[in-house]
Chains A and B, each alone.
Chain A
Amino acid sequence: MRRKNQDNKVAYAFILPWIIGFLCFTLFPIIFMVQQSLTNRKLNGVSKFIGLTNYKNMFRSSVFWNSLRVTIFFTIVMVVVTTIWAIIMALLLNSKQRFNGIFQFCYFLPSVVPTVALAYAFRTIFGKNAGLLNNILSMFAGRNIEVNWLYQQNTIYFVVFFITLFTYSTGQMMLIFRSGLSDVPKELYEASNLDGATFIQKFFHITLPMISPLILFNAVSGCVSALNGSFALLYPLTSENGDPNGSTQVLSLLIYKEAFSNMKVGYACALSVILFLVAAVFGGLIFAISKKTVYYED
């Protein structure tokens, strides 16, 4: 009995660093954020308890509802687009060919570039007058083409989702899928070949079910990345206002704007609570869907 207690103490001692880190850097900030959302705290530190006023004001604000709508749309599309792209890239890299390592290096290279630098580079590419893309298009068309890629509502989403294909999150997904694909038993493909299965049939009936746990993992991490990491991508591209006309103003941009441009820290905390809940709902939904769709080998 004494030995068992001793073992427990040692085990707790081992996990103590993690518990301290969790308490200080995760639990306390969350509790503090919720508590601050009930105050009118400004960036200069002046603060007074105001109950649920921030939430009442938020639910009356058309800016908030627009931002929530954009956040949900952006998250869903980004997760779908990046996951599909990562699977396609992983499938291509999984096929036997020469220079596979070089291809993998080239595909993954943009992913290790910091997102802010990547966004600024693409901002230059998608510029209206001096942008690289418009110059190339003009060269091929033989006339001056000036598409306002980042300021038109019908082109901005195309640009943003295109850039997400080169972010770290997508590159990481690709590597995870690649390792998952190499673990799919070869016998399954050999058996299906004997049955005359086509590539599409093999993909949907063998590959996809076998890597479905990885799809679940990547969908959850991609979702969190879209909700929290979108700031670093969108701020340099479309500013804190989510240009054009608020089309890209996700909640993380609005939180920054309220806290650091308008000095409304309490209100920004209330928005952060909503973002926290949105992330929780997305996570819950993905897990609920996965119960019916994810295949686990016993």
Chain B
Amino acid sequence: MKKVVSFLLAAVMMTGTLAGCGESQPSSSPQAAGSAAASTQASQDVSGQSITITTWNEPSKDDALNMYKQAEKATGVKVNVTVIPESDYSSKLGQMVSTKDASSDIMVVWENDLKNFAEAKGILPLDSYLKKSTIKTSDFIPAVSKLSGGMGATYGLPWCAATEILYYNKDMFKAAGIPLPTNNWKYEDFKAAAKKLTKNGVYGCALPNTQTWWAGIGGAGDKIYDPSNGQMVIGSGAVSFVKDCKEMVDAKVMPAPSSDTTDLFAAGKAAMAWQGSWNVGTYADKLSFNWDIASLPTNKVKYNTLHTGFYTINANSKKQTAAWKVIEYLMGEEGQTINSKASGNPSALKTIAAKGAWKVASAKKVTNWDAITDSLNSGIFGYTCLPSGVTNNAVSKFNSALLGQTTPEEAVKRASDYAAETIGY
């Protein structure tokens, strides 16, 4: 019996060792299959097939604004939607790629994962499909073309191009006699207005969120993301912006970081907020005061971060042709228009974005829609190309500086050091 137990133990150890020690580069067969599928099955009838798309956004409950329902009607392909919560989204997709999971045919992949998944051969290059398609990649906004160009092939197509903008409480501005923000507002104008608007328990501006911290830092002159080596590049710009925010927190112009999750702008307790353009659709007609939007104020550089997700085809999918058919619809004028109407986000295709379907009909208080197009032109893919652990860690350090637990210089240095030891692993 001892021999049997010894043999079992040895077998388990050997299996473990062999399973991990070898270089586990994924097989290239699905990739080859994908290319073959593109060239040989393009004309195949895929109607009646069923595919699954994985995303973090709940589809619209209104069928007319549900692009997946409309895709079903247009292509004849049944589209099942798997929604994974945003907080776990990236890691769940990573696990699916790692285990060669074929349960999802289309994955909407974030900027920072696109390269990783392509490297792992978990997603297909789409160039062979695109050659026979009506989708004009030359029509993409420059930032998208630049991002795809760095990978040697097109692995994903952007579902939209969201931007970051300034939201302001019009009533508070008028009551204080301050001229309304414009798309050419300077950073100094913003700081002066925030100071004047702070009174009676109302903050001049909400604290930057995990996204707009980077708009402030980029605007102060830092590059943030270097595509040549994938590193985070922050320094004097970050120190300067953190110092500004600390001064505003100390003067109670901005709230101190805390565990409270209340949206102070929506609650009427902050006169301004830097947030994503998707909040236009969220606020729509729900706020009890008059509000409007403007481009983020320009500091040294006009800067905001673009946000998107890329439609990709799972390299292990058995229904790649049907998946492409659905993507083609979603990237076409009808699919993109429905998406813009539902989400309030412009298309990354310039000619479609120019038609303005993203102007959320129910957001009647918004007049300065040019803020979105202006932000789209100045936006770049910055921090979203970095691992979320690195950027979240940096924001945590910046918050510590605002609370006086460390200096802005030390916070930026520690954030940079952690990024350097993490990126390039």
Contact = CB atoms under 8 A, between A and B. Distances in A.
A binds B: yes
Interface of A: 8-9, 12, 19, 23, 27-28, 31-32, 35-36, 38-49, 57, 60-63, 123, 126-131, 148-153, 237, 239-241, 243-246, 257-264, 266-267
Interface of B: 1, 5, 8-9, 12-13, 15-17, 19-26, 88, 90-91, 94-95, 97-100, 116-117, 119-120, 122, 255-260, 262, 387-390, 392-393, 396-397, 399-400, 403, 405-406, 414, 417-418, 421-422, 425
A138 to B, nearest CB: 13
Nearest to B392: A241
A126 B260 CA distance: 9
A258 B390 CA distance: 9
Given A44-B120, A47-B24, A150-B259, A239 B95 contact: no
Top 9 nearest A-B pairs by Cβ distance? Answer: A261-B389, A43-B94, A45-B98, A128-B258, A44-B120, A262-B389, A241-B396, A260-B91, A245-B400
Given A45-B24, A262-B390, A243 B94 contact: no
B397 A245 contact: yes
Contacts of A150: 258-259
Given A128-B259, A153-B405, A261-B389, A44 B9 contact: no
A39 B98 CA distance: 15
A45 B17 CA distance: 16
B91 to A, nearest CB: 4
A270 to B, nearest CB: 12
Contacts of A149: 259
A28 B18 CA distance: 12
B23 A48 contact: yes
A264 B393 CA distance: 15
B23 A28 contact: no
Contacts of B387: 261-263
A27 B9 CA distance: 9
Given A44-B116, A148-B258, A245 B24 contact: no
B396 A245 contact: yes
A41 B117 CA distance: 13
Nearest to A126: B259
A239 B403 contact: no
Nearest to B410: A245
B396 A243 contact: yes
Contacts of B9: 23, 27
26 contacts: A23-B9, A27-B9, A28-B12, A28-B16, A35-B19, A42-B120, A42-B425, A43-B94, A43-B95, A44-B94, A46-B26, A46-B119, A46-B120, A47-B20, A63-B421, A126-B259, A128-B260, A148-B403, A150-B259, A151-B259, A241-B393, A245-B396, A246-B396, A257-B393, A261-B90, A263-B425
A46 B24 contact: yes
A213 to B, nearest CB: 32
B15 to A, nearest CB: 8
B79 to A, nearest CB: 25
Contact of B99 (A45, A127, A128): A45
Nearest to A128: B258
A67 to B, nearest CB: 12
B258 A151 contact: yes
Nearest to B25: A46
A17 to B, nearest CB: 14
